[in-house]
Amino acid sequence: MEREYIPYSTVRDNSIKIAYRIFLSGFRPDVIYVCLRGGVYVGNIISEFFKIVRKDTAPVFYAAVVARSYFTEEKRYNIVVDGWTYKPEYLRKGQKVLFVDDIFDSGYTLNYLVRCITEHGISKKDVRVAVHDYKIREYLENPHSITPDFYARKHYIKKPEDDFWIHYLSHEIMGIKRKDLLDLFPEADEEEKKALEAIRGFL
C-alpha cells in the first residue's frame, strides 16, 4: 500500500484552518473530546483557538477518550473504550460537543463515541466531528449516520487498490519505512541524527 508522510507543521497549519471553519460555522464547543492518540495534535490547536475566542464568554472544557476498534472473526467491528477523562454522564443537556481525531477511516469508532454521549442526553444536533483526513470509500456502502463536519482533506477511494496509508509525523514514528527515516527529518541536529540511526537499526 502506498504511504503518505505528513509533517507536523502541515497538521498544525491545517488544524488552525479547521478551527477557523468551525468558528465561521457558528458552532461553539463547550466540550472538546480528543481521541487518543491521533486526535490530540489537531485537538490541541482547535482547543487553543476556542480558548482565545471564547475567553470572555464561556470556558471550553478539554477532554480525552481512549478507544480502539478491531475486526472480529464474524467480520464485524468491535469497539473498546478504555476510558474517558470526562465521562459522558457528566455532560449536561444543551452542551455543544466536538469530537476531534486525525482521520475518519472506517468511521466505526467515532460513530460509537457519538452514540455514547447521545445515550446520555446530548442531542445529535449539538455534536460535531472534526478530523484532519476524511476517507470516503466509494466502493463500499456507508453504514454511518455520523460523518465529519469539518476536515482539512477529503479523499475519494474508488477501489481497494487505490487506498493508501496516511502517516502523521506529528505523532507516529513506528511504521516509517527504513529507507525513508533519515530523509523525513532533514533538519535534525547531530544528537537527533544519532537517535534516528538507533531507531533505524531496529527497523
Q: What is the pLDDT of residues 4-16, one digit of tens each?
A: 999 999 999 999 9
Of the candidates 175, 171, 173, 174, the one whose C-alpha atom is nearest the C-alpha of residue 43 is 171
Predicted local confidence at residue 194, as pLDDT: 94
Per-residue pLDDT, averaged over 67-88, amounts to 81
Strands (E), 7-116: 31-36, 61-71, 77-84, 97-104
Three-state secondary-structure class, residue 16: helix
Question: What are residue 166's DSSP bridge partners?
Answer: 4
SS percent in the chain: helix, strand, coil, step 5: 35, 30, 35
Domain over 2-172 is classified CATH 3.40.50.2020: yes
Q: What is the pLDDT of residues 78-126, one digit of tens each?
A: 888 999 999 999 999 999 999 999 999 989 999 999 999 999 999 999 9
The answer to whether the Cα torsion of 168, 65, 67, 137 is positive or negative is: negative
Domain ranges for the chain: 2-172, 175-203
Q: Own/partner pairs for 66-71, CB < 8 Å, 24+ apart?
A: 66/35, 66/36, 67/35, 67/109, 67/112, 67/113, 68/109, 69/106, 69/108, 69/109, 69/112
**Residue 181 burial class via C-beta count within 10 angstroms: exposed 0-12, middle 13-18, buried 19 and up:** middle
Q: Quick check: 163 pLDDT over 70?
A: yes
Which run of H or of E encompasses 13?
helix 8-25
Tell me which of 54 and 126 has the higher pLDDT.
126
Q: Quick check: 139 pLDDT over 80?
A: yes
Length of the chain: 203
Of the candidates 48, 51, 69, the one whose C-alpha atom is nearest the C-alpha of residue 59 is 51
Q: How confident is the model at residue 158 (pLDDT cuts 50, 70, 90)?
A: very high
Predicted local confidence at residue 58, as pLDDT: 79
Predicted local confidence at residue 201, as pLDDT: 86
Q: How confident is the model at residue 203 (pLDDT cuts 50, 70, 90)?
A: confident
Predicted local confidence at residue 74, as pLDDT: 55
